[in-house]
Structure 1
Amino acid sequence: MNTATLTRAAVLTVGISLTGTALGLGRDLLLARYFGAGGGTDAFLVAWTVPETAYVLVVEGAMSLLMIPLFSAALAHDGDARTVVATTLPRITFVLVTVCAMALAAAPLLVRVLAPGLATHDVAVTCTRWTALTVLTFGLAGYLSAALRAHQVFGAPAALTLVYNLGIVGSMVLLHHRAGVVGAAAGVALGGLFMVLVQVPSYLRRVGLPRFWRLGGSALTVGAVLPVIAYTLARQGQVFVERFVGSGLPPGTISHLNYAQKIDQIPMLIALLICAVTFPALARDVAAGEVDQARRRVESDLRTVTALILVSVAFLIAYAPQVIAVLLQHGQFTAADTAATATVTRVYALGVLGHAFVGVLARPFYTGGQRTWYPVAAMAAGLGLTAVLAAAGAPALGAPAIAAANGVGITVTALLLLIGVHRRVLPISVHAIAGTAGRLVLAAAAACAAGLLAARLTTGLPSLVQALAGGLVVLAVFAVAARLAGFHEWRLRDAG
C-alpha cells in the first residue's frame, strides 16, 4: 500500500470511526441522562461485559490478529482469499453459535461470577441474555471486517461502531420508558446485527463466497487460535477485575468507573485507528521478509500514538471536571456523580498511554501467524498486578484505587511487550522510543500545568467555555514544548 492510499484509508477510517465514537458518546450521555449512576445502570454495565469481551476477542482480537495475516498471505500468493473462507468460515460459525448458546444459558452464573455483590442481580441477568447474542454477531462482523481490511477496503469496517451505537441509541430512545435499562440491552443486540449487515454488500462485491466449502485443511488450528484467545481474554480481564471489585463498593461505583473509562478511551481509540489501517500492510511486510520496513512501521505507529495520547492526557487531567459536567451532568446524573467520575477520569488518564502501547505492540507478535504465548504472559503479569492492587486499595480508597491499579498493571504489560517485540519479533529501537516518549511526557506536563493555570483563571465561566479555551491552551503549549524537545513529526505517518 503506497503513501497516498494509506493516507486516504486512514482519513476515511478516522472520519467514519470518529462519527461512530461521537455517537457512542451520545449513547453514554443518554445512559447517564435516563438512568444516572445507580443500581440499574450497574446491572446494565455488568451485562455489557459480555459484548465488551466479545468485541475485544473477536473483532479487535482473534479475527483481526489471526484472519488478516491469513487473508493477506492468500492474496499475496494467488490473489484469491476465497479458499481461506471455504476452510475457516464454517468452523468459526459453528464455534460462535455454540458459545453464544452457552452464554445465553449461563447468564445467571455469569452475573454471579462477574459481580457477586450486585444488588440488581435479576435485571442484570435479563440484560445479559440480550447482550449475549453479540457473541455470534460480533464474531461474524469481525470475520467480514478482517477479510475486507485485507483487501484494502476500510469504509465498511470503519462503520462498525457507528451502526452498533445507532442500534443502542435508537433502542434507548424508544424503549427507556417502557423497558428501562433492558431496552438498552436489547439495543446492544440490535447494534450487533447492524454490524454484520453493513459489511455484507462490500464483502460480496470484493471477496465473494467460495464455490465449494471445505471442512478440513485450514491453517486456523487450535495451536494458532489458543494464544490469541488467551491474550485477548487477559486483555479484557482488567474490566472483569473492575466489575468484580467494584460490585462490593457503594451502588454507582461501577457506573463511575465506566463513564470515566469511556471518556479516557476516546483519544486511545482515535490513535489506534491509524494502526488498524497499517496492520494489513505490516502483515504483508512480514510475509515478504521486509523486516526493516515492518520495523519502521511499528516505530512510526508508536511515535504517532504517543503524541496523540499524551496531549489528550494533559487535557483530561486539567479539565476532567469541566468535561464530565458538559457531557454527563444532565437528567439523573448529579453533581456528586460528576465529581466522583472526574476524579476517576484523572487517575485513569495516567494509564492510557500504556493501553495504547499494548494495542500497537501486540500486533507484531501475530503478523506472521506465530504461535507465541509471550503476549499472554505479559498481559497476565499486568492483570495479576491489577487484581492485587485493586483488591488491596479499593476498601479504603474506592474507585480511584481500582483505576490506579488498572494503570499500573497495563503499563507493566506495555513495557514487557516493548521488550518482547525488540527481542523476539522486530529489531525496534527501544532506546529511541523511550527517548521520544520521555520528551513528549515533559511536553505533556508543561501543557497540563498551563491548562490547570488557565482553568483557575477562567473559574466562574461556563464549563463548556472553560473546556474549549483550555483545549486550545493545552494543544498550543504541547505543540511548542514538543517541538522544543525535538519532536518534529507532526504528520500522519511515514507510510514508506
Structure 2
Amino acid sequence: MSLLRSSLLVGLGTVASRVLGFARDILFAQVLGAGPVADAFLAAFRLPNLVRRVVAEGGLNPALVPVLGRLEPAEAARVAGDVTTILALLLLGLVALVEVAAGPIALLLAPGLGTEETLGLVALYTRLAFPAVFGVTLASVGAAFLNMHRRYGVATLAPLVVNGGLILTLLGLGRLSLAPEREAAWLALASSAAGLLQLAIIAAALLRGPDRPVRLRRPTLSPALKTLLRAGLPALFASGAVQLFVLAGTQIASFWPSGVSWLYYAERVMQLPLGLIAALAGSVLLPELAARHRHAGVEALVAAQNRALALALLLALPAAAALAILAEPIAAVLFRRGAFAAEDVNGTALVLAGLSAGLPFATLGKVLSQTLFARGALRGTLFAALAGLAATAGAGAALGFLLGMGGIALGISLGCLVHAGALIVLLRRAGLWRLGRDFAGQVLRIALATGAMSLGLGGGLAFLPQPGALGLAALCGGGLAAYAAAAWLFGAVTPEDLALATKKP
C-alpha cells in the first residue's frame, strides 16, 4: 500500500472520528451547557479523554515501532503478547487506584471549581468514566500492532465506536427528563462501555487470520520487553505534550466561571486539523522514518522530515488563520443552542482565537518529535515536553491574570512554541536540522497562499457578519477553494510532493 493510500485511509478515519466528536460536543453543549455541572463533567472527562487521544494518535508507537521493527515476525508477535499482558495488569491497577483516589484527583484536575458539591461531582464522574482508559489503551496498542502489519482498516475505524456510543447516549438522554447531574453520570458510564467495546473489536481483528501480530503467553522478561517497558511512559508523555499543555490550562481555567467548558469546546475545534496530523504522524510517518533511519541514513531521514514539515504546514497555517478569523461564527453555529448561552459563545470564541495562534507550533512539534522517536531518543522528547509544560503553566497563569481566558489560551500556545523550539535544538545537536532554500521557499509560498485566503475570508465575513450554518459552510468552502487556488498559483504544492506521497514505502 502506498504512503498516499495509507495516509488517506488513516486520514479519513481520523476525520470521521473528529466529525463524530464534533457531533458529540454539539450535543454536550446542548444538554449540559457551560455551567457548574458541565465544568464538573468536562473536568472529569478530560483525564480519560486525554489518554484516549494520546494513545489513539499513536502515543505508544514511538516505544513499540522501533523495538518490534528490529525483531523477526514470530519473536515480535511473542513480545507484543508480553507487552499486552503486562500492560493489561498495569492498567487494572491504575483503574483501581483512580477509583479509590477519585476525590484528591478531582481537586488536582480542577482546583478552582471551589464548592465541595461540584468537586464531588468531578470525583463521581471520574470514577464512572476512567475505566474507559483500560479498554482504549489496550485497543490502541493492538491497533499499533495492526498498523505495523499494514492492516489499517480496523485499526482506523474502531475508535469511532467511542464517539458513536456517546452520541447514541446523548440522543437517548434527550428523550428523557433527567437532572443535568444524572445526565452527566450516564454519559460518563457510556464512555467506559464504549471503550471496552472498542477493545473487543480490535481483539477480534488481532485474533483473525494466520498472520497474527500478537501471540499471548506467560510473559518473559526479554531484553526487548525491558526496552519497551522503559520507553513506554516517556513515549506517552512526549506524544501527549499538547494534551498535557491543555490539561495545565484546564487547571488554571477552573478558577474562571465556565472556564473549563469554554476551553474544552474551543480545544475540540482546534483538534480537528491537529488530530489529523498527529494520527498521520504516529500511524504512517513514524514507521516510514524508522525504516529510513535503519536503512537509508541521515540524509534520507532529514529529507523525509523536511517534506513532512512542509506538508504539515500546508494544512496547519491556513487552518490556524481560518480558526482565528471565524472563531465567533464557528462557536455560535456549533454550540449556540439549548443550555449554551450567548456569553458562552463569546468566551469559547475568545479561547479558540488564542489557541489558533499555537496550532502551527503544535503541528511542528508533532512532526519533529517523530524523527527523535524513530531514533529512539525518548529522553530528549520528554525534556522538550517538560519545557513546554512549564512554559504553559507559567505563561497561562500570568496571562490569565492579565487577560482572562484569552490569556490562558495564549499561554497554551506559548507552551507549544517552546516545545517546538526545544525539539529543534535537540535535532540541531543530533545533526538532523537542515532546512535549506527549497524548504524556506515552500513555506513562504504556503504563507502567501494563507494570506490570500485570509483576505478572502475577511471580505466574506464583512459581507456575512453573523452567518448561520449555511453561511459558515459557504465561508469555509470558499476559503478552502481560495486557498487551493492560491497554493496552486504560488506553487505551494509541487509535483515532487505528490510523487513522494504515492511512492511505495
Query: So what's the TM-score if we normalise by structure 2?
Result: 0.89
Matched-pair contact (CA < 8 Å) for 2:29–2:337: yes
Retained in 1: the 8 A contact 2:456–2:482? yes
**Alignment partner of 1:331: what SS?**
coil
Q: CA deviation at 1:138?
A: 2.1
Which string of whole-angstrom CA distances, capped at 9 and with x for unpartnered residues, describes residues 341-386 of structure 1?
1122122111111111111111221224x25421122222222111
Aligned length: 488
Deviation at 1:193, TM superposition (A): 1.0
Greater displacement, 331-340 / 229-238:
229-238
Query: 1:159 matched to which residue of 2?
Result: 157
**Alignment-mate amino acid for residue 145 of structure 1:** A
SS of the equivalent of 2:462 reads helix
What amino acid is aligned across from residue 170 of structure 1 in structure 2? L
Paired position in structure 2 for 1:171: 169
Q: Spell out, residue by residue over 1:168-213, the C-alpha distance to the aligned partner (whole angstroms, 9 max, x if none).
A: 2222333464421111111211221122122122211242552743
Which residue of the partner structure matches residue 181 of structure 1? 184
Selected match of 1:375 from 362, 370, 381:
381
CA distance in 2, matches of 1:254, 1:82: 42
Q: Which residue of the partner structure matches residue 215 of structure 2?
A: 210
Rounded to whole Å, the distance in 2 between the matches of 1:373 and 1:468 is: 44
- In structure 2, the CA distance between the partners of 1:431 and 1:209, relative to structure 1 (3 Å rule), is same
| Aligned residue number for residue 244 of structure 2 | 237
Instruction: Verify: 1:83 aligned to 2:78, yes or no.
Output: yes
Mapped pair 1:43 → 2:40: yes
Look up the SS of the partner of 1:199 in the other structure: helix
- CA deviation string 1:435-469 (max 9, x = no partner): 53344233323321221111112346x42233223
Summarize the alignment of residues 424-439 of structure 1 with structure 2, pairs less than 5 Å apart.
424=430, 426=432, 428-429=434-435, 432-439=438-445
Contact kept, 8 Å, 1:348 with 1:404, in 2: the verdict is yes
Partner of 2:269: 263
CA contact (8 A) 2:384 2:422 kept: yes
Q: CA deviation at 1:394?
A: 1.5
Aligned to 2:313: 306
Q: Report % sequence identity.
A: 26
Report the alpha carbon displacement of residue 434 of structure 1 after superposing the two structures with TM. Answer: 4.7
Tell me how far apart the structure 1 counterparts of residues 253 and 157 of structure 2 sit (CA, whole Å): 32
Q: How does 1:403-442 map to 2 (within 5 A)?
A: 403-424=409-430, 426=432, 428-429=434-435, 432-442=438-448
Written as runs of structure 1 = structure 2, the 5 A alignment for 1:24-39 is 24-39=21-36
2:4 matched residue in structure 1: 7
Q: Secondary structure at the match of 2:207?
A: helix
Match status 1:274 vs 2:280: yes
Q: In terms of mean alpha carbon deviation, does 387-396 or 482-491 score higher?
A: 482-491
Cross-structure match for 2:256 = 249
- Give the CA deviation at 1:391: 0.8
- Supply the distance in 2 between the matched residues of 1:467 and 1:225 (Cα, whole angstroms): 42
**How far apart are 1:426 and its partner, in Å?**
3.6
Q: 1:17 aligns with which of 10, 14, 19?
A: 14
1:232 to 1:20, Cα distance in 2 relative to 1, 3 A: closer
Alpha-carbon deviation of 1:493?
6.7
Q: Which moved more, 1:31-40 or 1:63-72?
A: 63-72
- 2:201 is aligned, of 189, 194, 198, to 198
Secondary structure, in 3 states, of the residue corresponding to 2:151?
coil
Secondary structure of residue in 1 paired with 2:443: helix
Note if contact 2:78-2:214 (Cα within 8 Å) is conserved in structure 1.
no
Structure 1 residues 220 and 478: alpha-carbon distance in aligned structure 2, compared to 1, 3 A threshold = same
Q: Deviations over 1:266-313 (max 9, x none)?
A: 122223333222322222222334444333332222111101112222
Q: Is the 8 A contact 2:44 2:109 kept in 1?
A: no
Q: Which residue of 1 aligns with 2:121?
A: 123
TM-score (norm 1): 0.91
Q: Assess, with a 3 A threshold, how the Cα gap between structure 1 residues 81 and 43 changes in structure 2: closer, same or farther.
A: same
Question: Secondary structure of the equivalent of 2:406?
Answer: helix
Say yes or no: does 1:468 pair with 2:465: no
- The aligned counterpart of 2:103 is 108
Contact kept, 8 Å, 1:147 with 1:207, in 2: the verdict is no
Shift in alpha-carbon separation, 1:140–1:247, aligned structure 2, 3 A: same
Of stretches 83-92 and 446-455 in structure 1, the one that deviates more from structure 2 is: 83-92
Q: What SS does the corresponding residue of 2:494 show, helix, strand or coil?
A: coil
Distance 1:404 1:201, change over 3 A: same
Q: Is the 8 A contact 1:354 1:411 kept in 2?
A: yes
Is residue 304–residue 493 contact of structure 1 (8 Å, CA) maintained in 2? no
**Paired amino acid for 1:192:** G
Cα distance in structure 1, aligned partners of 2:469 and 2:57: 33
d(CA) in 2 for partners of 1:168, 1:492: 38
Give the drift of 1:431.
Answer: 6.1
- For structure 1, which segment, 375-384 or 53-62, has the greater mean C-alpha deviation from structure 2 after superposition? 53-62
SS in 2 for 1:362: helix
What is the rounded CA distance, in whole Å, between the counterparts of 1:434 and 1:198 in structure 2? 44
**In the alignment, what sits opposite 2:456?**
450
1:335-414 pair list within 5 angstroms: 335-368=342-375, 370-414=376-420
1:359 and 1:164 map into 2 onto residues whose CA distance is: 24
Question: Which structure 1 residue ranges, 4+ long, deviate > 6 Å from structure 2?
Answer: none
CA deviations over 1:129-176 (Å, ceiling 9, x no partner): 012112311221121011001000111121243111012222233346
CA distance, structure 1, for counterparts of residue 159 and residue 219 of structure 2: 32
Structure 1 residues 88 and 216: CA distance shift in structure 2, 3 A: same
- Return the alpha-carbon distance in structure 2 between the equivalents of residues 154 and 185 of structure 1: 29
Question: Amino acid of the residue matched to residue 375 of structure 1?
Answer: T
Is the contact between residue 162 and residue 194 of structure 2 (CA under 8 Å) also seen in structure 1? yes
The farther-off stretch of 231-240 and 162-171 is 231-240
| C-alpha deviation, 1:402, in angstroms | 0.6
